[in-house]
Structure 1
Amino acid sequence: MAHYDMLVIGSGPAGQKAAIQAAKLGKKVGLIDRREVVGGVCLNTGTIPSKSLREAVLFLSGFHQRGLYGQSYRVKHDITMEDLTFRANYVIKREVEVIQNQMERNRVDMIFGTARFFDDHCLHIHQAGGPPGSPGPGDPLEHTADFIVIAVGTKPARPSHIPFDDQTVIDTDGLLTLKRLPKSLTIIGGGVIGTEYASILAAMGIHVVLIERRPRLLEFVDAEIIEALQYHMRSIGVWPRLNEEVVAIDKQDDEQVIVRLRSGKEIPASTVIYSVGRMGATDGLNLQSVGITPDDRGRIKVNKYFQTEVPHIYAVGDIIGFPALASTSMQQGRLASCHAFGLPSQVETTLLPYGIYSIPEISMVGRNEDELTQAGIPYAVGIARYREIARGQLIGDETGMLKLLFHPKTRDLLGVHAIGEGATELIHIGQAVMALKGTIEYFVDTVFNYPTLAECYRVAALDGMNRLPRPWAPRV
């Protein structure tokens, strides 16, 4: 038994940053994970593997070069699952080494096992294996702490009526465990993960059907950006089936699955990915015994300081719900530790950048047109298309676009939306200007390197100014 200043459950992005921040303050910290490897879902089954898959597909398929060298261009014609997982496994191994090194440098104790609350200051950690003499499942470790941070993340929803077999019907964590690439694919759920996988696999020539109950994909994204994404996805072989509801999934044999829709359509595929929602991984934590009640999706309610119903127990990351991004989870973990140990800190929650790694990728910061309209805020629009920019021609991106929303009188920048190669990097220029209360005139008066995609900001700003009734009138 050991006593810690802080125990953190879960070694994903939120848990890592909570532990390191507390260690930087000179506190004794223990980081618990049920796997005998750090990184959580983000590193081992989610963000990093899926983005590694995307990079491998883009390289091996020669996708970005097809505009220059023709649609038949390929770096490798017969791409296998081993080709794709090789890159993912390499990246995961290197990232695990980086995180382990960070924990060692900061003297964070790594504790591997499944944590369960005994009381509000005490955790029992059950270890499934380990060296001779170490506690087994029936003989748990027992550690206490002044503060406890729950950062256990989420897991794919697996409803009982879906016939999962982890071969022909899989969840979103199961793709990289397949032994071979699917011949055809149906994805149920057009959220972020479903949209990403649909476009990534279609880029390899796999026939993909994407089923979504709503009238369009990703309703929180700017409508014009989504319109461009849906057009491009169709062009590479994704068939969106919007406003459709799945009523049954019938496995015919080991080679075919039929997805039946309420509209009467029957969609055959060799593999089905169920991508409708994720659940908080709170099972087994025994939260009710300490007065914490998760919602029906396993998520934990917190206040603005990330405190649960028990003030010295914090929750951060995907387990608390929206926005459920690795970037915001890191910040939440750090802020929770700062608050626990009395260190003043403040987070800007209105300027969170979003990145969606579809093909092409999407990113945004600030408000979109629908949100501004609903709020009664007047706005003007400026657009730059990659095909107008020399860098866009060099990389062969005909789809890319940067869209600026700004107030027509004050010129304040209200939102930035991008689609195309490098969109998730490009967005941070607009984020910085918005955070510093800058105006669109900054982009008009600033010199950007040539040729770069950053030039899109100046082109879009000029486009927006020229749309105003008196383009160069002084701002008020």
Structure 2
Amino acid sequence: MDKFDVAIIGSGPGGYVAAIRCAQLGMKTAIIEKYATLGGTCLNVGCIPSKALLDSSEHFHNAEKSFADHGIEINSPKVNFEQMVARKQSVVDQTCDGVKFLMDKNKITVFQGMGSFVDEHTIAIKGEEETKIEAKNIIIATGSKPTELPFAKFDKERIISSTEALKLKEVPKKMIVIGAGIIGLELGSVYARLGAEVTVVEYLDRAIPTFDGALSKEITKSLKKLGLKFNFSHKVSDVSRKGDTVVVTASNKKDEEVTFEADYCLVAVGRSAYTAGLNLEAAGLSAGERGKIEVNDHLQTAKSHIYAIGDVIKGAMLAHKAEEEGVFVAESLAGQKPHINYDLIPGVVYTWPEVAAVGKTEEQLKEAGVSYKSGSFPFRALGRARASGDVEGLVKILSDKETDEVLGFHVIGPRAADLVAEGVIAMEFRASAEDIARSSHAHPTFAEAVKEAALAATDNRALHV
């Protein structure tokens, strides 16, 4: 039986990054993946393929709607959806191959098959053949899967999850999206740009409810222009299929029953930890609510040599959060003192305009009774945004009323996913809004909106509004 210093179950961003860092630190490392390709949900059926389709659909949308404004005259563009999906798969394949290269480069042993515990140090791997390995330390990084509603079972044909939405054979004529969170808005916007009539049904009273209210308001306004129809405060009670038609029944805030019909229904109400088949009991462990595994502040389970990271534990289900945790565990095993500030894990919605945020929302500060200042700046007032035609959105900075320390950093607009890193860095170093305002930002750039918002938060002295 092969013996390892560390064995990692799951090769998503958390798992493969943990494996690389463990190997860098001199540990004999194994990684176990039940699917044929490495990379987990993110690389195969999540972050990477969705961004490929988002970018392709945005290119089509610009060709159709805005090229003429730039003086580019073309015949009416057509969607070759088969090629769009093929390109998406090519991006996925290249990225997954890249992970395999990194495993080889770092001399990490890869096992293909379903990993499950035999005891707290032994893992059985069922692939083409069954093998067993022994590990001094084990990291559970098995990720998550789309949450299925009891009254909306996935048939994977017409009632679909995000997985199937990334590999449809056609652009829907009509699509119902249940859930106005990140996944629902991203994939809903893809198909709206390609010509589908998209109807969003959301239980809560606004889109992306975990984000600041200003961002929720702006993204709703933007996506309505794209053609999405929103139905907030609607509780879905039934999803059924009649041939190629899906019927969604819901009740509105007046408790009136309403129905929606479409040829596809995307159920995007979140994800649940994937721990099925691990045989946790054999290692003296168990899964709790939604399949999640309980860990302490060092990411240790009830067995101190078994760790869990990413979507299988508490916190936001984000690839970059899992990566941070993978590095954290690896460095802890090496005797180092790593650090993760969970309050500064940014959240992003990759629609266009993009939405990104880190830190506290205005609603959270109000609820906590924190005295704060707020400064915002619209991209419409920015020369770089006007030059590119990306004038929707704003930057909003929240800072402590007494100390001026930045408490929240919120962006909706062009390249928001990249701009939010400035907020993360500032907040990691506990910078004030004035610190940002006094830092030179190149002109003309989208980042100037950050400086202007900081000026507005500091003393209401933005220069260009």
TM (norm. structure 2) is 0.94
Q: Shift of the alpha carbon at 1:186?
A: 0.1
Q: How does 1:24-423 map to 2 (within 5 A)?
A: 24-62=24-62, 66=66, 69=69, 77-127=77-127, 129=128, 135=129, 140-254=130-244, 256-262=245-251, 263-423=256-416
Letter in 1 for 2:137: F
Letter in 2 for 1:51: K
- Any conservation in 1 of the 2:171–2:194 contact (CA below 8 Å)? no
- Any conservation in 2 of the 1:63–1:203 contact (CA below 8 Å)? no
Q: Shift of the alpha carbon at 1:67?
A: 8.4
- Any conservation in 1 of the 2:382–2:449 contact (CA below 8 Å)? yes
- Rounded to whole Å, the distance in 2 between the matches of 1:419 and 1:279 is 28
- Which residue matches 2:449? 456
Over aligned residues, Cα RMSD in angstroms? 2.0
- Go from structure 1 to structure 2 and tell me whether the alpha carbon gap of 1:427 and 1:307 turns closer, same or farther (over 3 Å shift): same
**Bigger shift: residues 207-216 or 245-254:** 245-254
Letter in 2 for 1:187: V
- Go from structure 1 to structure 2 and tell me whether the alpha carbon gap of 1:75 and 1:197 turns closer, same or farther (over 3 Å shift): farther
Give ranges in structure 1 of 5+ residues lacking alignment. Answer: 130-134, 472-476
For the residue of structure 2 that corresponds to 1:437, the secondary structure is coil
Q: Is the counterpart of residue 20 in structure 1 residue 25 in structure 2?
A: no
- Which residue matches 1:474? none
Output one character per residue of 1:317-336: Cα deviation in whole Å (capped at 9) or x when no partner.
11113211111100101111
- Any conservation in 1 of the 2:414–2:446 contact (CA below 8 Å)? no
For the residue of structure 2 that corresponds to 1:282, the secondary structure is coil
Q: How does 1:424-463 map to 2 (within 5 A)?
A: 424-463=417-456
Q: Is the counterpart of residue 3 in structure 1 residue 3 in structure 2?
A: yes
Letter in 2 for 1:184: K
- Any conservation in 2 of the 1:12–1:153 contact (CA below 8 Å)? yes
For the residue of structure 1 that corresponds to 2:107, the secondary structure is coil
Output one character per residue of 1:343-393: Cα deviation in whole Å (capped at 9) or x when no partner.
221222221111111232100111111111122221111111111111110
- Any conservation in 2 of the 1:186–1:269 contact (CA below 8 Å)? yes
**Bigger shift: residues 48-57 or 77-86:** 77-86
- Any conservation in 1 of the 2:307–2:329 contact (CA below 8 Å)? yes
- Go from structure 1 to structure 2 and tell me whether the alpha carbon gap of 1:65 and 1:161 turns closer, same or farther (over 3 Å shift): closer
- Any conservation in 2 of the 1:65–1:73 contact (CA below 8 Å)? no
- Rounded to whole Å, the distance in 2 between the matches of 1:28 and 1:90 is 32
Letter in 2 for 1:360: P
- Any conservation in 2 of the 1:312–1:340 contact (CA below 8 Å)? no
- Go from structure 1 to structure 2 and tell me whether the alpha carbon gap of 1:170 and 1:467 turns closer, same or farther (over 3 Å shift): same
**Bigger shift: residues 196-205 or 50-59:** 196-205
- Any conservation in 1 of the 2:399–2:407 contact (CA below 8 Å)? yes
- Go from structure 1 to structure 2 and tell me whether the alpha carbon gap of 1:210 and 1:119 turns closer, same or farther (over 3 Å shift): same
Q: Shift of the alpha carbon at 1:309?
A: 1.0
- Rounded to whole Å, the distance in 2 between the matches of 1:7 and 1:339 is 15
Aligned residues with identical type, % of pairs: 30
- Go from structure 1 to structure 2 and tell me whether the alpha carbon gap of 1:313 and 1:343 turns closer, same or farther (over 3 Å shift): same
- Go from structure 1 to structure 2 and tell me whether the alpha carbon gap of 1:403 and 1:104 turns closer, same or farther (over 3 Å shift): same
Letter in 2 for 1:142: K
- Any conservation in 1 of the 2:6–2:137 contact (CA below 8 Å)? yes
- Rounded to whole Å, the distance in 1 between the matches of 2:63 and 2:221 is 17
- Any conservation in 1 of the 2:212–2:362 contact (CA below 8 Å)? yes
Letter in 2 for 1:168: R
- Rounded to whole Å, the distance in 2 between the matches of 1:233 and 1:426 is 21
For the residue of structure 2 that corresponds to 1:201, the secondary structure is helix
How many residues end up aligned between the 2 structures? 457
Q: Shift of the alpha carbon at 1:68?
A: 6.6
- Any conservation in 2 of the 1:205–1:237 contact (CA below 8 Å)? no
Output one character per residue of 1:114-146: Cα deviation in whole Å (capped at 9) or x when no partner.
01110000011001x3xxxxx2xxxx1010100
- Any conservation in 1 of the 2:67–2:73 contact (CA below 8 Å)? no
- Rounded to whole Å, the distance in 2 between the matches of 1:74 and 1:384 is 35
Give ranges in structure 2 of 5+ residues lacking alignment. Answer: none
- Go from structure 1 to structure 2 and tell me whether the alpha carbon gap of 1:11 and 1:259 turns closer, same or farther (over 3 Å shift): same
- Rounded to whole Å, the distance in 1 between the matches of 2:448 and 2:240 is 51
- Rounded to whole Å, the distance in 1 between the matches of 2:346 and 2:149 is 31
TM (norm. structure 1) is 0.91
- Go from structure 1 to structure 2 and tell me whether the alpha carbon gap of 1:126 and 1:76 turns closer, same or farther (over 3 Å shift): farther
For the residue of structure 1 that corresponds to 2:335, the secondary structure is coil
